[in-house]
């Protein structure tokens, strides 16, 4: 019968001075040690695919619960990789010290996991770290179920409406099945889900009447910080075959047109919200996001921006009134 390691969750709240961030530091990429005999071959690509699937599943679970999806941030996932390798040595929200690695722990606690985010000036309000250690074999759902049945709030964290961004990592550490290490700790799969709530971006602020102080205005922030490289994960990466092929099925048809209109509508609404013209919570809960290839493919009226002109050109192309995409106006 499988047991599972008790998992901790530590929440830590901090309000940082407002400063924009996201310098990408070269974090060491983890290596999975896979040894000998009957050990399953777990490749870096397998681990990457599992982490990507976890990100999709987390958002599916949030959607089932009426919550907005979370953006994946590559830099946060890099840090999750560092943390998941650390958790093989020390399963804790406190980072291992040199003494932990030498096998002679001195009782000193390392830094809290979120100290790195503070040092990197992440504009976050709250950070949570869900860790899981599982025996082999382990699927995404095995790890999720461990958090689901946890009595320590892991599931609440996944369903926290205030969370905005995540980083995900998984690692596999093959252990000698005859070793004391394995007898003490029969876990070979380690997962980390790093969840943060970002601050509001001070670049998008409005002065509105303050109902508590008649005659006075108060500042209201209308947009979250965007983090470098953030994207909404999809189960399959959409790879457009040509300009206008936004669904990546190599055909340009009315489905692509509708997809483009939805994207433009979302971008317009977002821009209106940032300017304080309207606020649409429902819209924020259903963001429309394109990957970099889709953005390139959406520029049907080739001018480097995506707007209603691109939709008009795409419509004309589908109707046969424009022969080639992208359409370049000379």
47: closest CA among 80, 22, 70? 80
Instruction: Determine, following the binding rule CB under 5 A, whether residue 192 of this chain makes contact with Ca ion.
Output: no
Applying CB under 5 A, the span of 86-94, 127-135, 222-230, 303-311 interacting with Ca ion comes to 303-311
Question: Facing residues of 70 across strands?
Answer: none
Please compute, for residue 44, the number of CA atoms within 13 A of its CA located in the half-sphere on the CB side.
4
Q: Across the beta sheet with 189-198, what order do the strands follow?
A: 11-13, 124-134, 189-198, 165-172, 71-72
Return the H-helix or E-strand segment holding 176: none
> Nearer to Ca ion by C-beta: 256 or 299?
299
Q: Could you identify the residue written with the tokens 């699937």?
A: 53
Contacts of 97 by beta carbon, 8 Å cutoff, 6+ apart? 105, 106, 108, 109, 110
Instruction: Determine, following the binding rule CB under 5 A, whether residue 312 of this chain makes contact with Ca ion.
Output: no
Q: β-pairing, 11-13 with 165-172?
A: unpaired
Applying CB under 5 A, the span of 2-10, 60-68, 166-174, 301-309 interacting with Ca ion comes to 301-309
State the nearest-atom distance from the C-beta of 190 to Ca ion, in Å. 45
> Which of 57, 290, 310, 325 contacts Ca ion by CB under 5 A?
310
Instruction: Determine, following the binding rule CB under 5 A, whether residue 303 of this chain makes contact with Ca ion.
Output: yes
Contact 239, 292 (CB under 8 A): no
State the nearest-atom distance from the C-beta of 321 to Ca ion, in Å. 17
* Backbone φ, ψ for residue 127 (5° rounding): -130, 140
Ramachandran region of residue 121, left (φ > 0), alpha (ψ -120 to 50) or beta? left
State the nearest-atom distance from the C-beta of 305 to Ca ion, in Å. 5
Number of residues that bind Ca ion (CB under 5 A): 4
> Which of 299, 311, 314, 317 contacts Ca ion by CB under 5 A?
299
Applying CB under 5 A, the span of 236-244, 282-290, 305-313, 315-323 interacting with Ca ion comes to 305-313
Instruction: Determine, following the binding rule CB under 5 A, whether residue 136 of this chain makes contact with Ca ion.
Output: no
State the nearest-atom distance from the C-beta of 239 to Ca ion, in Å. 20
> Nearer to Ca ion by C-beta: 241 or 303?
303
> Nearer to Ca ion by C-beta: 4 or 301?
301
Residues 142, 147: Cα–Cα separation, whole Å: 9
How crowded is residue 212: how many other Cβ atoms within 10 Å of its Cβ? Answer: 6
Instruction: Determine, following the binding rule CB under 5 A, whether residue 301 of this chain makes contact with Ca ion.
Output: yes
> Nearer to Ca ion by C-beta: 82 or 260?
260
Angle, CA 217 vertex, CA 216 and CA 218 arms, to 5°: 130
**Residues at the site binding Ca ion, with contacts judged by CB under 5 A:** 299, 301, 303, 310
């Amino acid at each position: 019968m499988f047991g599972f390691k008790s998992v901790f969750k530590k929440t830590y709240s901090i309000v940082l001075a407002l400063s924009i961030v996201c310098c990408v530091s070269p974090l060491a990429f983890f290596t999975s040690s896979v040894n000998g005999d009957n050990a399953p071959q777990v490749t870096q690509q397998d681990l990457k695919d599992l982490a990507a699937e976890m990100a999709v599943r987390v958002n599916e679970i949030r959607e089932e619960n009426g919550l907005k999806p979370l953006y994946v941030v590559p830099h946060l996932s890099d840090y999750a990789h560092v943390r998941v390798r650390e958790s093989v040595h020390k399963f804790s929200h406190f980072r291992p010290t040199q003494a932990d690695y030498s096998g002679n722990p001195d009782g000193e606690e390392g830094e809290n996991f979120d100290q790195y985010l503070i040092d990197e000036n992440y504009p976050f309000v709250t950070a949570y770290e869900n860790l899981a250690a599982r025996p082999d074999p382990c699927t995404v759902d095995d790890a999720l179920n461990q958090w689901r049945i946890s009595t320590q709030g892991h599931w609440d964290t996944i369903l926290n409406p205030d969370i905005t961004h995540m980083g995900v990592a998984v690692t596999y550490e093959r252990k000698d099945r005859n070793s004391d290490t394995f007898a003490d700790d029969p876990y070979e799969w380690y997962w980390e889900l790093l969840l943060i709530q970002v601050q509001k971006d001070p670049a998008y602020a409005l002065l509105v009447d303050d109902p508590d102080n008649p005659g006075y205005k108060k500042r209201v922030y209308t947009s979250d910080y965007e983090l470098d490289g953030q994207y909404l994960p999809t189960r399959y990466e959409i790879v457009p075959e040509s300009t206008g092929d936004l669904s990546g099925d190599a055909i340009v048809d009315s489905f692509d047109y509708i997809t483009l209109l939805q994207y433009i509508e979302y971008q317009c609404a977002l821009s209106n919200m940032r300017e304080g013209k309207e606020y649409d919570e429902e819209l924020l809960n259903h963001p429309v996001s394109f990957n970099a290839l889709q953005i390139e493919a959406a520029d049907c009226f080739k001018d480097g921006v995506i707007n209603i002109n691109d939709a008009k050109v795409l419509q004309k192309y589908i109707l046969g009134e424009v022969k080639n995409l992208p359409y370049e106006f000379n």
